[in-house]
A = this chain, B = another copy of it.
């Protein structure tokens, strides 16, 4: 997609994915035997909380023990400062959808970057909210890219048990001490933990083992409409092209401690199909009394008839002509990954979390996961037309709208998919129906053998977690700006730790974990330190 003006609103797509697709990738309770001996596991489950907490991170076997001991000590010493930094950040709301606190949030983030050691950190103007570009030159041979967001989703204080911008420390039964507030997990908590890692390394008197190139946006929650304007500036492109990959700090652990990694994500188009008498030239332009249906065409029926042409009669398979022509079938290697994931993930748990009894076409668990990874989709997000209140109202509406999202797999593109949709409607006699794209972008893909993926996997394993690896997320994030032309970077989220409630009330991020399988903030900070050292040493 080259036209950024199309990217108006995709509702914090990527963040939602992390929160809501847990159900897509729920792991079994039992970690795989080779990485998590059952005797250890019993100990975790049976021991006292303190003993368990000590046992929970037994595998931080660093490749550089001296450095690591010192850094670990710094992490613990700086724990309170790290928590306070996160609280300060949460207390500065930056909500793009409300144009609230954007400059303040941007400037606070720039200041925090400078304090964490970035020599260069500048606000980057866009046609929307400003982004940030920053670099930290450690004189290291390797450079890692970082993707941040500084905006957060809206929050209605009435729905929260602790005010969303107070960032209170709250004891959450079964989990431990958490910071509660908007942005706690999405995304300030993990991002602050990464900054804490930089402070700890510096505090231990060490030089960062890799250089950093940083880009941030303030419009993630409204669909990253101007993100290409930040990434595609010459200085950013010049710096990013030397990176061995780019990642976003993330709290990747589920409540069971497990982690699922994805090698990319589907692309997406969000659009509205608008059928109106105004545009059609038939039927009424505004709502009229429904008795007139006997003599007037109906834009609502027109929309229904158009929608019915977009999918197979069971509503499941896209029927838009040429839409999926370029969809690349999943490879044998991807099929193997999925089969392994199907073996490790619990179908029953996934169905329970989704509240479903049947997969589409009644396929098996493995096939359901294959469809999830590989299938382009045409989904109805919403229908809204005419009278939508309680009971009825006898009108013939002048307008009806369907909100769709179309998911794209490699090598489909958002531009081609949109063009196919429009051409299909025109050919079927619905050319008058307006297609208004409100957000979207291309799919992205990272090779399984990329150094970034390899090191991330190793860090998880050192932490006692054998991640499930999937060919891609069925959700979407705008990683195409990194993985696509011309950068071709590996990209994806990474980080231990846990939080939940993204886009929901009582969002939280675990500070001190009482769950032996889940890392608190210090564990998350360590995972970032491990990543940096791991990348420095990767072959």
Listed in ascending order, the chain A residues whose CB lies under 8 Å from chain B are: 8-11, 13, 16-17, 20-21, 23-24, 266, 268, 270-272, 277, 281-286, 288-298, 300-305, 307-308, 311, 313-316, 354-360, 363, 368-369, 371-375, 377-388, 390-398, 400, 402-403, 405, 407, 438-439, 473-476
Contacts and interface: CB of A to CB of B under 8 A. Distances in A.
A276 to B, nearest CB: 11
Nearest to A376: B294
Nearest to A375: B294
A437 to B, nearest CB: 10
7 contacts: A8-B391, A293-B377, A295-B359, A297-B358, A298-B379, A381-B386, A381-B396
A387 B382 contact: yes
Contacts of A24: 289, 291-292
A381 B386 CA distance: 6
A13 B392 CA distance: 10
B355 A398 contact: yes
Contact of A268 (B283, B383, B394): B394
Max chain B C-beta neighbours (<10 A), residue from A24, A289, A358, A439: A289
Contacts of A268: 394
A388 to B, nearest CB: 4
A355 B277 contact: yes
A24 B308 CA distance: 32
Given A380-B386, A382-B387, A407-B294, A9 B392 contact: yes
B297 A305 contact: no
B363 A295 contact: yes
A282 B382 CA distance: 18
A316 B297 contact: yes
Contacts of A304: 304, 307-308, 315, 380
Given A277-B356, A358-B297, A292 B394 contact: no
Oligomeric state, in copies? 2
A11 B391 contact: yes
Contacts of A384: 383-385, 388
B11 A407 contact: no
A17 B407 contact: no
Nearest to A8: B391
A21 B289 contact: yes
Nearest to A389: B382
A397 B380 contact: yes
A292 B354 contact: yes
Which 3 A/B pairs are nearest by Cβ-Cβ distance? A301-B315, A20-B289, A291-B474
B392 A403 contact: yes
A359 to B, nearest CB: 5
Given A11-B391, A355-B398, A372 B291 contact: yes
A24 to B, nearest CB: 7
A292 B372 contact: yes
A360 B297 contact: yes
Max chain B C-beta neighbours (<10 A), residue from A281, A356, A358: A356
